[in-house]
Structure 1
Amino acid sequence: MRIENILTFKMLFLLKLLIIVVLAFSSPKYEAVYAPPDTLMIFPVIKHTDAAKPLYSVQIFTDYVDMQLPFQNFLIDIDAPFTWHDCIVQWNIYPGSCPKDVLCESPVSCEDYECTDVRTSYSYQNPSCPPDSNSFTLPGWGFCSCPVNVVDPVTGTCGQALLNYDYITTNAACVPSSSFGSFPADVTGVVAFSNSRYAYPEYLAQAVKRSLSLCLPSSTSSRGVLFFGSGPYYLPSQSNVDVRSYLSYTPLLKHPNSFGYFLGVVSIVIKKRSIIIPADTLTKLSTIDPYTTLRSDIYNGIIRRFSRVTKRIPPAKPIAPFGLCFNTSYNGTQVGLKVPNMDFILQNGNKWTISTTNSIKQITNDVACLAFVDGGATSEPSIVIGTFQFEDNFLLFDLENSTLGFSSSLLLKQNSCSNFNLTLTNSP
């Protein structure tokens, strides 16, 4: 695309962000806000349990539709290379040209640099994905469009979307409404919060783009929070405590075949005994996988050790996908479990503590299970930390310095991800 057009889209995008700031304080419909002096951008996070697995979304302003300001709910994906959502591409957009209640965006040509770049380095490459094609054209447009591969985070199936220039990011991709049948209700997009150059953070103002913080809620009835910006992040229920005072830090690592975030875990300690992790192991963070998945050799070591330290708790028949479960019913009354912590020892010596609330999942009234999953003998990456282990933990992705700050469970501080005051400014 010509450089003047790119600059035009950049200017329009910044203008849209300014509109968002105004709307945030004038419209109760939209809940994302900037905290003065515009160095902290705040999104409430919603938990969904009406799909095949728990998922989390934020609401993002898209563009004008029928002279209205629409908002779409986007699944949070810290691994996706680019954002994609419910829209159509149309080359001759003018007032009244789009179907009613449909979002239209401008197409990217297969001859544009962005098309080649996304296809070469940022599109999903998988044997199940369709091959690249330049055969698709829009009616009346003299150029070929740019189909790119996307993967449904619920089903894992690969499909194609049309790359476009829009006002969410300079580059996103459009898919038809029918693509979201597996998604939670009212969720019609995936927003990329990865380290890809086409991810959402790349299109934000410099003051907020280099720091992403995430605090997932543990309930559908409460809201978590996602921040852009370096803080502070106040917990008003504790006299405006800045949650950064709770954080430990570890380096963020990169994987050559992923735009996600990785850690170096050297061992997992359960009641003073260590399960050693091979030196070349990378641990991935995921907002799509519901439970931490481990390669079989690591998983089996955890199960053996955990079984030993909980041998006084009555066992229960395992319920898939879990391999170790416990009876939580005593004389017909449900009782809570208190089990030893797991400490993930990181490469710089700090530890991320997984306490009972993030290790034990209540499945039925009578059965609770260790919420870790066997990923198989050849699982790659060897460890993927899932969202159940994130809930009510505060995670700060310092993208400038490539570090992760983590709190362990806020519940241990008599707090939670739902306690943030989303209307507080970032001044004491």
Structure 2
Amino acid sequence: MHLLKLLFFILASFSHTGYSSYNTSVIPITKDEQTSLHKVPFGLEVLDPNQGPYDYLIIDLDTPYAWKDIPITNNPVPCDVEDGCRHPVRCDTDLCKEAKSYINPICPTPNKTDCSMCIVTPLNPVSNACVASNLTTDLLRPYWTDGWNPINPYPKWPGGTLGARFLLSTAPTSLDQFFPKDVRGVAGFSWSGLCLPRQLASISFTNGVKFALCLPSSSSARGVTFVGEGPFYFKTNPNVDLRSYLSYTPMVRKSSKSLGYYIKINRILIKE
């Protein structure tokens, strides 16, 4: 596998509340040839060449929560037992208060509305366009790994699919402008309490969260995201834990409102 870079992030101190050989989520990453944007499948599943087409979310390190151009429904069926079930989040919940704390100043101020919905402002990081929309839930079917083998604990059957409940924002299709044609939203990998890695960690065996992004250098290569402690192995070198190749430097934040990742640089040395 030809890879551009391996990025490793620690969002919080890491500790176990239990143990399993499968305590790390593994998500495939592909690169769009025309835009060079990196994307993950919306359901976070390992891609099956006999299935599809898949909907994707682009990876963004400065987006507080995921969003997708999906309609919102008031289906009374619980979201943890029905595939594609979506419920609006109320405005008086802690999740809504958390989401509203990340409203971008360039976005429109949400109008007051019925408290049965939480109004948020998803942002397109490519066009810098944003709209007022609703916070909701959907199902994801993430795979877990012991470092070598992926498994999916959420079975499918003719009547539906089991999955993990996931918080995201809805959005109109107009917000997809300048995205690749198969991309329908954004996956936030930021410092936010609602980012994708933190939500995945909440359904695993951890209190904190670590995640690594192994980005492909071309559209023909395949990258991967690991969310969890590891270990991390590739088929091309199955006996070497990738953590042994990593070097570390402290992450810094520009301000309390900053959601991106930064490192302090004293100098830059360029060699030919």
Contact 1:201 1:209 in 2 (8 A): no
Q: Deviation at 1:61?
A: 1.8
Aligned counterpart, 1:83: 66
Secondary structure of the 2:174 match is helix
Q: Deviation at 1:236?
A: 3.9
Q: Deviation at 1:214?
A: 0.8
Matches within 5 A, 1:357-372: none
Aligned counterpart, 2:15: none
Q: Deviation at 1:75?
A: 0.8
Aligned counterpart, 2:264: 264
The answer to whether structure 1 residue 106 and structure 2 residue 87 are counterparts is yes
Secondary structure of the 2:55 match is strand
Q: 2:242 and 2:32 mapped to 1: Cα distance?
A: 25
Identity of aligned residues (%): 35
1:59 to 38, 41, 55: 41
* Structure 2: 5+ residue stretches without partners: 1-19, 45-51, 141-164
Contact 2:32 2:38 in 1 (8 A): yes
The answer to whether structure 1 residue 44 and structure 2 residue 28 are counterparts is yes
Instruction: Using structure 1 for the length normalisation, give the TM-score.
Output: 0.46
Q: 1:254 and 1:206 mapped to 2: Cα distance?
A: 27
Query: In structure 2, what residue type is equivalent to 1:61?
Result: G
Q: Deviation at 1:112?
A: 3.4
Query: In structure 2, what residue type is equivalent to 1:179?
Result: L
Instruction: Using structure 2 for the length normalisation, give the TM-score.
Output: 0.69
Q: Deviations over 1:261-298 (max 9, x none)?
A: 11111110124xxxxxxxxxxxxxxxxxxxxxxxxxxx
Aligned counterpart, 2:99: 118
Are residues 93 and 267 of structure 1, via their aligned partners in 2, closer, same or farther at CA, if it must alter by over 3 Å?
same
Query: In structure 2, what residue type is equivalent to 1:222?
Result: A
Secondary structure of the 1:167 match is strand
Query: In structure 1, what residue type is equivalent to 2:102?
Result: Y
Q: 2:170 and 2:190 mapped to 1: Cα distance?
A: 19
Contact 1:49 1:184 in 2 (8 A): no
Aligned counterpart, 1:175: 171
Are residues 237 and 118 of structure 1, via their aligned partners in 2, closer, same or farther at CA, if it must alter by over 3 Å?
closer
Secondary structure of the 1:206 match is coil
Contact 1:208 1:230 in 2 (8 A): no
Runs of 4+ more than 4 Å apart: none
Are residues 208 and 41 of structure 1, via their aligned partners in 2, closer, same or farther at CA, if it must alter by over 3 Å?
farther
Q: Deviation at 1:156?
A: 1.4
Q: Structure 1 or 2: larger strand share?
A: 1
Query: In structure 2, what residue type is equivalent to 1:124?
Result: N
Aligned counterpart, 2:138: 166
Are residues 236 and 167 of structure 1, via their aligned partners in 2, closer, same or farther at CA, if it must alter by over 3 Å?
closer
2:108 to 130, 133, 136: 130
Matches within 5 A, 1:338-377: 340=272
Are residues 170 and 224 of structure 1, via their aligned partners in 2, closer, same or farther at CA, if it must alter by over 3 Å?
closer
Secondary structure of the 2:57 match is strand
Query: In structure 2, what residue type is equivalent to 1:162?
Result: N
Are residues 71 and 209 of structure 1, via their aligned partners in 2, closer, same or farther at CA, if it must alter by over 3 Å?
farther
Q: Deviations over 1:168-191 (max 9, x none)?
A: 454311112333232112111211
Are residues 71 and 161 of structure 1, via their aligned partners in 2, closer, same or farther at CA, if it must alter by over 3 Å?
farther
Secondary structure of the 2:112 match is coil
Query: In structure 2, what residue type is equivalent to 1:203?
Result: Q
Q: Structure 1 or 2: larger helix share?
A: 1
Q: Deviation at 1:94?
A: 5.1
Contact 2:88 2:116 in 1 (8 A): no
Contact 1:46 1:58 in 2 (8 A): yes
Q: Deviation at 1:47?
A: 0.2
Residue-pair matches, total: 215
Secondary structure of the 2:248 match is strand
Are residues 94 and 243 of structure 1, via their aligned partners in 2, closer, same or farther at CA, if it must alter by over 3 Å?
closer
1:189 to 174, 185, 191: 185
Structure exhibiting the larger radius of gyration computed from Cα positions: 1
Contact 1:110 1:134 in 2 (8 A): no
Query: In structure 1, what residue type is equivalent to 2:133?
Result: A
* Structure 1: 5+ residue stretches without partners: 1-35, 63-68, 96-101, 138-142, 272-339, 341-428
Name the Cα RMSD after superposition.
2.9
Are residues 180 and 208 of structure 1, via their aligned partners in 2, closer, same or farther at CA, if it must alter by over 3 Å?
farther
Secondary structure of the 2:136 match is strand
Q: 1:60 and 1:37 mapped to 2: Cα distance?
A: 25
Secondary structure of the 2:236 match is helix
Q: 2:231 and 2:91 mapped to 1: Cα distance?
A: 43
Contact 2:122 2:171 in 1 (8 A): no
Contact 1:40 1:208 in 2 (8 A): no
Q: Deviations over 1:204-253 (max 9, x none)?
A: 21349611011111111111111112222224434622222222111111
